[in-house]
């Protein structure tokens, strides 16, 4: 038979005088366990030596103990391992922490089952990300959101669940609108309406029937749309209207706004108005003038001129 030790601890039952029969196997089992213990300790076991360096395999228990106390001394930074005044659980704890966390912000992560690895603190503004290619399984990465942003004014939006995309800064004076699947910068036309003739008054010819001052909100925009509307239609002939920039000075229309006989709006004119692309710019404090060049034989009543800018 073989001893249980060191593979396991042998269990014995208590024997009672004049009750239990003592068998030779009982004595033999004791002898086997004692022999196994002596074999493990070795002959003349030396005192613990805290100068022995650890090796991959220890020959006997004494050498293993030497390794342990040497590690304790090394970790604690003390001159010996057995003096309670110098080596305490606190010093060992501090030593372990100093080994794992030498730098402010360091962390630990499992590099494998039951194996701890140090994760050094990353650069500012990085985020800790799962990374199967890194030894500890995590690494410091630039935020995906920050990685997408390349220019001041960029906007991030979702293209799908958990998916971001970049929308670059739009052109000046454009507005952000919701599209069918994504937001977009859109040129928004701004309109002003000018009551050139009172609603019940006959429209009269002449330059300067109305004046319009260009405010800061419209500065830098272009004239893009024009329209004229009468309250009561004029009869026989055509009414024509010019938009003149007094500041430039220049006419802004190459083909005038017209309202035909019997019509109330320029949207039905036989000859649509045409904006002169070389004279359509607006500058802060420009002064625009509405000129009525011709009217019908029976004048129309009321005149509203609408201008659109973007």
Do both 194 and 180 map to the same domain? no
Mean pLDDT lowest for which of 23-32, 52-61, 110-119, 261-270?
52-61
pLDDT of residue 77: 61
Higher pLDDT, 64 or 271: 271
pLDDT of residue 32: 86
Q: Does the residue 32 lie in any domain?
A: no
Q: Does the residue 131 lie in any domain?
A: yes
Percentage of residues of the chain with pLDDT beyond 70: 82
Residue 207 structural domain: 190-309
Choose one of 187, 215, 242: the last residue of a domain: 187
pLDDT of residue 54: 53
Do both 287 and 228 map to the same domain? yes
Is pLDDT of 189 > 80?
yes
The distance of Cα 39 from the centroid of its chain, to the nearest Å, equals 66
Q: Does the residue 70 lie in any domain?
A: no
Long-range contacts, 136-142 (Cβ 8 Å, 24+): 136/108, 136/109, 136/110, 136/111, 137/109, 137/110, 137/111, 138/109
Model confidence at 82, in pLDDT bands (50, 70, 90)? low
Distance CA 26, CA 276 (A): 120
Is pLDDT of 150 > 90?
no
pLDDT of residue 88: 55
pLDDT of residue 110: 85
Do both 194 and 175 map to the same domain? no
Distance CA 262, CA 269 (A): 11
Is pLDDT of 49 > 70?
no
What pTM does this model have?
0.52
Q: Does the residue 242 lie in any domain?
A: yes
Contact indicator for 61, 40 with CB cutoff of 8 Å:
yes
Backbone angles phi, psi at 144, to 5 degrees: -60, -35
Q: In the chain, how many domains are there?
A: 3
Do both 215 and 302 map to the same domain? yes
Is pLDDT of 74 > 70?
no
Is pLDDT of 69 > 80?
no
Does 259 sit behind a cis peptide bond, omega within 30 degrees of 0 on the bond before it? Answer: no
Average pLDDT on 190-195 reads: 96
Structure tokens at 310: 């973007």
Mean pLDDT lowest for which of 76-90, 148-162, 250-264, 278-292?
76-90
Per the prediction, the chain carries an average pLDDT of: 85
């Amino acid at each position: 038979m073989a001893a249980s030790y060191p593979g396991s601890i042998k269990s014995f039952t208590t024997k009672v005088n004049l009750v239990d029969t003592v068998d030779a196997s009982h004595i033999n089992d004791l002898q086997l366990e004692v022999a196994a213990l002596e074999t493990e300790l070795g002959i003349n076991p030396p005192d613990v030596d805290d100068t022995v360096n650890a090796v991959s395999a220890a020959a006997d228990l004494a050498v293993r103990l030497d390794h342990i106390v040497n590690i304790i001394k090394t970790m604690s930074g003390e001159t010996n391992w057995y003096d309670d005044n110098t080596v305490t659980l606190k010093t060992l704890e501090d030593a372990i922490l100093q080994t794992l966390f030498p730098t402010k912000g360091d962390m630990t992560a499992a590099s494998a089952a039951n194996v701890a690895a140090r994760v050094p603190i990353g650069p500012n503004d990085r985020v800790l990300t799962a990374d199967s290619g890194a030894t500890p399984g995590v690494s410091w990465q630039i935020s995906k959101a920050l990685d997408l942003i390349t220019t001041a004014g960029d906007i991030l939006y979702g293209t799908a669940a958990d998916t971001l995309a970049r929308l670059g800064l739009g052109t000046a004076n454009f507005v952000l609108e919701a599209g069918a699947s994504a937001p977009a910068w859109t040129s928004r036309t701004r309109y002003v309406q000018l009551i050139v003739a009172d609603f019940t008054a006959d429209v009269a010819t002449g330059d300067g029937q109305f004046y319009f001052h260009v405010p800061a909100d419209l500065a830098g925009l272009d004239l893009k749309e024009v329209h004229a509307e009468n309250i009561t239609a004029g009869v026989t002939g055509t009414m024509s209207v010019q938009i003149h920039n007094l500041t430039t000075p220049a006419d802004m229309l190459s083909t005038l706004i017209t309202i035909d006989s019997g019509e109330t709006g320029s949207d039905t004119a036989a000859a649509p108005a045409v904006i002169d692309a070389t004279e359509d710019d607006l500058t802060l404090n420009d002064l625009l003038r509405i000129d009525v060049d011709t009217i019908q034989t029976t004048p129309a009543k009321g005149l509203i001129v609408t201008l659109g800018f973007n």
